[in-house]
Amino acid sequence: MATLPDPVERVYRGEDWVAVYGAGYVGLGLVAVYLRKGLRVIAVDIDEEKLRLIRELRISYGEPELVEAVRKGLEEERLVLTSDGVYASRNSAVKIVTVPVYIDWVTKKVSYDALVSASRSIARGLRRGDLVIIESSVPPGTTEEVVRPVLEEESGLRAEEDFYLAYSPERVYIGRLIKDVEERYPKVIGGIGPRSLEAASRFYEPIARKGVFRVSSTRTAEFEKLAEGIYRDVNIALANELALAAEALGVDFYEAREAANTQPYSHIHLPGPGVGGYCIPIYPYYMMMRVHPRGYIMELTKLGRMINEAMPLHVVRRIDEHARLNGVDKRRAKITILGAAFRGDIDDTRLSPTHDIVGLLRAHGYKNIVVHDPYVKKDPVLEDLEARLTNSLEEALAQASVVVIATRHSDYRDLPLSRIKELSRGEPVVIDTINYIKVDVEYPANKLYILGKTPLNP
């Protein structure tokens, strides 16, 4: 097999560039990681508005180290922002792909359009000896069955013979991405063959202080990423089920959980109003869609999804019960939800349980719904549902008849009931789905519900 040019050596010597396809939460974080290592980076995204905001350093979702790395990269001209994927490919030796693989949340059909489009752009500028690493979360087999054929057919080159192709899943938590990549976890890498595995490993070895974890194939690496998410989804489902069981039995779930977790093999998670984000809710479907046609039904994974997807309905039922007990008029009463993001202290609302709660409230006849979030400035889903979004807690709580705490934002941590009473100018029904509020005043039992803590039949 002929010797190929070394793309890793070229980028680390500063002779060539790294191109990152997709400048969203993960992609821009990786851009920052590479810049911090002294590499020259081309960030590619089809959204010109997103590129403009990055250029102006208006990055709301990045940790300070990310923003500083981008700022320095722009100043030193080691960072180029472009929407031209072919240009980026022609001018880079290493191409990193972080564009999403979408799923229709109703039909559960997967769309590879964005991934195929990025692959085509890369192929049209692909050079002999280049390295392509897919980091998007994908169904097992995607690198071999979707990406490889596009790269080979469009470029006329062959993976492993003429260029390197590997899969290395992003294993990051939004808001701490840089430390996750650089310090916290080994980088899992699978290659289309041994040469690709070696090249991708050498690229990440100087970056990941925990080193790289090599697996036998891209399919194994793809499977590993989904397994991490499914593990968490199933365990959250268990926590939700135990919380509802505790309600039925009149037990404080959180007290029982604390005691149970003193046992070293018990790691019971926290319950909540559902599971959001474009990761954990999606991964079970990526896996099931590839496994079920081969004759195996993932019963536990499927049941975990059913439990977690039913939690917003459980929340709305509790809202209904307490509203009815207190004579709340659905057509006139103001319903305030604290938290639009799917997770605390970020602005990402993708597949947020709040969307489901608002949609169900609408279906149940509630008309005046306001959502507060300290980080989210705009949310098209909430706009479609005709729910008003505000960043002002005072505005959100003023004259509220029902207050729902839905997201673990630091702003809501230990929010006193007395403060809710003060800002609402009354004594609203309070539905706490995350056990966050501080009960610092006497409050009527029929006006306060805490998931996993309030008995089902007090």
Query: Would you please indicate which residues are annotated as catalytic (active-site) residues?
Result: 225, 279
- Quick one: pLDDT at residue 172? 79
For 250-298, where are the alpha helices, taking DSSP H only? 253-260, 283-291
- Quick one: pLDDT at residue 350? 93
For residues 64 and 209, which has the higher predicted lDDT (pLDDT)? 209
Residue 441 C-alpha from the chain's centroid: 36
Q: Among the ranges 146-150, 290-294, 328-332, which has the highest mean pLDDT value? A: 146-150
Let me know: does 134 contact 142? Beta carbons within 8 Å. Answer: yes
**pLDDT band at residue 367, thresholds of 50, 70 and 90?**
very high
**pLDDT band at residue 414, thresholds of 50, 70 and 90?**
confident
The yes-or-no verdict on residue 1 having pLDDT over 70 is no
**pLDDT tens-digit readout, 271-280:** 999 999 888 9
**pLDDT band at residue 63, thresholds of 50, 70 and 90?**
confident
The yes-or-no verdict on residue 97 having pLDDT over 90 is yes
The rounded distance, in Å, linking the Cα atoms of 421 and 424 is 5
The yes-or-no verdict on residue 437 having pLDDT over 60 is yes
- Quick one: pLDDT at residue 61? 66
DSSP run (H or E) holding 430: strand 429-432
Q: Which residues, at least 6 apart from 337, have a Cβ–Cβ distance to it below 8 Å?
A: 354, 357, 358, 369, 370, 371, 372, 387, 404, 406
- Quick one: pLDDT at residue 268? 97
Which of 160, 90, 115, 91 minimizes the C-alpha distance to 21? 115
At 308 the three-state DSSP class reads: helix
Strands, E assignment, 230-380 = 334-338, 368-372
Burial class (CB in 10 A: 0-12, 13-18, 19+), 271: buried
Let me know: does 120 contact 154? Beta carbons within 8 Å. Answer: yes
**pLDDT tens-digit readout, 114-158:** 999 999 999 999 999 999 999 999 999 999 999 999 999 999 999
Q: Which residues, at least 6 apart from 137, have a Cβ–Cβ distance to it below 8 Å?
A: 101, 169, 170, 225, 226, 229, 279, 282, 283, 286
CATH of domain 309-450: 3.40.50.720
Which of 439, 411, 444, 413 minimizes the C-alpha distance to 427? 444
Burial class (CB in 10 A: 0-12, 13-18, 19+), 48: exposed
The yes-or-no verdict on residue 458 having pLDDT over 60 is no
Could you tell me where in the chain the CATH 3.40.50.720 domains are found? 7-216, 309-450
DSSP 195-244: HHHHHHHHHHTTT-TT-EEEES-HHHHHHHHHHHHHHHHHHHHHHHHHHH
The yes-or-no verdict on residue 322 having pLDDT over 60 is yes
For residues 400-415, average pLDDT: 95
The yes-or-no verdict on residue 360 having pLDDT over 90 is yes
Length in residues, the chain: 458
**pLDDT tens-digit readout, 233-253:** 999 999 999 999 999 999 999
**pLDDT band at residue 224, thresholds of 50, 70 and 90?**
very high
**pLDDT band at residue 10, thresholds of 50, 70 and 90?**
very high
DSSP state of 418: H
- Quick one: pLDDT at residue 210? 95
> pLDDT averaged over the chain?
95
Q: What architecture does CATH give domain 7-216?
A: 3-Layer(aba) Sandwich (3.40)
Amino acid at 47: D
Residue 445 C-alpha from the chain's centroid: 36
Q: For 411-433, b where at least 16 C-beta lie within 10 A, e where not — what string?
A: bbeebebebbbebbeebbbbbbb
Q: How far apart are the first and last CA of the chain?
A: 74
